[in-house]
């Protein structure tokens, strides 16, 4: 069975602070893919990143960075120097080798205050 846990329901930070969103996943498959999506108030899910299980190299894209650690089954997302426009709900998701469907976590509501 596939499961994604985002333990942080809500996080509030002040603009320019760094913030890390946690994601822990469960799967018995050795081949799987992890995703992060952003859902702004408009409701549309916006793709941020995809990683496969064989690539543990951390990735940085502008102010965004991702830390993938298979040893702890975690795929955490850090926003550096947060901005008000980063305010949204962020979802971590898992697609494993044996499943055809994307399993989402329950999301983390991030609020960045000016």
Task: Give yes or no for residue 91 binding other proteins (CB under 8 A).
Answer: yes
Task: Give yes or no for residue 105 binding other proteins (CB under 8 A).
Answer: yes
Q: How many helices (H) and strands (E) does the chain have?
A: 0, 12
CB atoms within 10 A of CB 111: 13
Span near other proteins by CB under 8 A; candidates 15-23, 61-69, 74-82, 94-102:
94-102
What is the Cα–Cα distance from 62 to 44, expressed in whole angstroms?
22
What is the Cα–Cα distance from 23 to 91, expressed in whole angstroms?
9
Span near other proteins by CB under 8 A; candidates 20-28, 58-66, 70-78, 105-113:
105-113
Structure token digits, residue 27? 């799967």
| Residues belonging to the chain | 114
Compute how many residues bind other proteins; rule: CB under 8 A. Answer: 27
Span near other proteins by CB under 8 A; candidates 14-22, 35-43, 59-67, 79-87:
35-43
Single out the residue of 21, 24, 17 nearest to residue 9, CA to CA.
Answer: 21
Query: Of the candidates 12, 58, 97, 113, which one interacts with other proteins according to CB under 8 A?
Result: 97
Enumerate binding residues for other proteins (CB under 8 A): 4, 31, 33, 35, 37, 42-47, 50, 52, 91, 93, 95-102, 104-107
């Amino acid at each position: 069975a596939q499961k994604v846990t985002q333990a942080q329901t809500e996080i509030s930070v002040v603009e320019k602070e760094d913030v890390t969103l946690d994601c822990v996943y469960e799967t018995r498959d050795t081949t799987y893919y992890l995703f992060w999506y952003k859902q702004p108030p408009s409701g549309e899910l916006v793709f941020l990143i995809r990683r496969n299980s064989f690539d543990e190299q951390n990735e940085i894209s502008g102010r965004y960075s991702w830390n993938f650690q298979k040893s702890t089954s975690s795929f955490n997302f850090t926003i550096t120097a947060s901005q008000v426009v980063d305010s949204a709900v962020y979802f971590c998701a898992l697609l494993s080798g044996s499943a055809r469907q994307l399993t989402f976590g329950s999301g983390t509501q991030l609020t960045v205050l000016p």
